[in-house]
Amino acid sequence: MDLSPQFVLDALRSVNDPHLEKDIVSLGFIRDIEVGDHRVSILLQTASPARNELVASIRRVVLGLGVRDVEVRVTEATRPAPAGKSGLIPGVKCTVAVASGKGGVGKSTMAANLAVALQLQGARVGLMDTDVYGPSVPALMGGEDPPQVVEGKIEPPVAYGIKLISMAYFLPKNEAVIWRGPMLHKTIQQFLGDVRWGELDYLLMDLPPGTGDIQLSLSQTIPLTGAVIVSTPQDLALSVAAKAIAMFQKLNVPVLGIIENMSYFKCPHCGERDDIFGHGGARAAAQRLGFPFLGEIPLDSRIRSQSDAGRPAALDGESEIGLAFQRAAAALAAQVSLALQQDISIE
């Protein structure tokens, strides 16, 4: 049978990304197809957490066409820096801001656990604490060892395989930070340009609540792959989260999705479920606003106790809580993969 690249491409429309629920051709994941004598070579471009599954499905489909040998090469795209933004961190493939419109929704805990979950899924991850006024990442991650200076650059400490940086490492304990915008901007630039991040698949950035100087400075300094919005189910949190979404839209930062934290409470004694803050509000808001819903995380005392102990709950990958974080991280990774394809068309 004489195969053409178009014939193979059409056959690959039967392969769906399980997280995005669309076929890989429509998603723009197939970047090149070469057809030889009973041999097909395919270039798959994706950051999807299901890439190994996709490779297996591609091989199965193409072998079914009567091909003897199938080569699937996988590459990941990175978003180029727009005009006026510098490439301060060239080894970092994806930069993701974890944000909320208000405090008290568990944003920092979410950032730490998403970082852990992505690392457990095989990604190389860094976590940058940009909340200068209330830095909490070192405490959440149990990262007590301070950074070191190596060849004029800051070597970030590592906790659970994740590189960390935070203003908490550079300030006396319990000292208040009273800074204006220029000082905040300089700190963000140093965290980006003066830290030896190395090669990372994801750099997650825990933003302070609200829509202030740090959010603006970060968005204007580097090309963000996108932002994740953390909210609780109740109407007040959702209305404030909408302001954070509006801010990122004005800054041309893609919103990768919304996560509902403290989504429900399950009694550890009787197993009865109680929607203390309501339930499903973030999912409904995501649908109404046209953004992906990345998952729901329960209200559970184990998340609090393990956070206080510096051991993120996502490390317990087989527990209900750990699996919730794993699902949210996989959904986030899928949306990152999709965001990186937005400006790429099939040749």
Model pLDDT, residue 346: 34
Q: Which residues of 294-315 are buried (b: 16+ CB within 10 A; e: fewer)?
A: bbbbbbbeebeebbeebbbbbb
Q: Quick one: pLDDT at residue 28? A: 85
Q: What per-residue confidence (pLDDT) applies to 245?
A: 86
Any residues with CB less than 8 A from the CB of 14 and at least 6 apart, and which?
A: 23, 61
Model confidence band, residue 113 (pLDDT cutoffs 50, 70, 90): very high
Ranges of each domain in the chain: 5-75, 92-340
Is the distance from CB of 126 to CB of 203 less than 8 angstroms?
yes
CB-CB contact of 229 with 260 (8 Å)? no
- Tens digit of pLDDT for each residue in 273-298? 887 777 778 888 888 888 999 999 99
27-31, 35-39, 159-163, 341-345: least confidently modelled range: 341-345
Dmax (CA) for the chain in angstroms is 73
Whole-number pLDDT of residue 179:
56
Neighbours of 183 (CB within 10 A): 13
Q: State the amino acid at position 55 in one-letter form.
A: V
- pTM, whole model, 2 decimals? 0.81
> DSSP string spanning 156-207?
--EETTEEEEEGGGTS-TTPPP---HHHHHHHHHHHHHSB---SEEEEEEEP
Nearest to 314 by CA among 95, 18, 106: 106
Contact 134, 176 (CB under 8 A): no
Whole-angstrom Cα distance, residue 275 to residue 33? 50
Structure tokens at 9: 């491409």
pLDDT, averaged across the chain: 84
Residue 47 has pLDDT above 90, yes or no: no
Q: How far is CA 202 from CA 64, 77, 111, 150, 301, in A?
A: 36, 12, 12, 22, 28
**How far is residue 289's CA from residue 285's CA, in Å, rounded to a whole number?**
6
The CATH fold of domain 92-340: Rossmann fold (3.40.50)
CATH number of 5-75: 3.30.300.130
Predicted local distance difference test score (pLDDT) of residue 297? 92
pLDDT-based confidence at residue 345 (cuts at 50, 70, 90): very low
Residue 12: pLDDT band by 50, 70, 90 thresholds?
very high
Residue 111: per-residue pLDDT:
95
Residue 312 vs residues 125, 166, 168, 304, 322: alpha-carbon distances, Å: 15, 17, 18, 9, 9
- Residue 85 pLDDT more than 50? no
Q: Which of 89, 200, 217, 97 is nearest to 153 (CA)?
A: 89
Q: Provide the pLDDT for residue 250.
A: 84
pLDDT category at 60 given cuts 50, 70, 90 is very high
pLDDT per residue as tens digits for the range 185-242? 677 778 888 899 999 999 999 988 766 667 777 777 788 899 999 988 876 657 777 8
* Residue found under tokens 């989260």: 241
Q: Say whether 233 sits in a helix, a strand or coil.
A: coil
Position 34 confidence tier, pLDDT thresholds 50, 70, 90: very high
How does pLDDT run across 160-201, given as a tens digit for each residue? Answer: 999 999 888 887 676 665 555 567 767 777 888 889 999 999
Rounded to 5°, the CA angle 12-50-39 comes to: 40
**Phi/psi zone of residue 198: left (φ > 0), alpha (ψ -120 to 50 degrees), beta?**
left
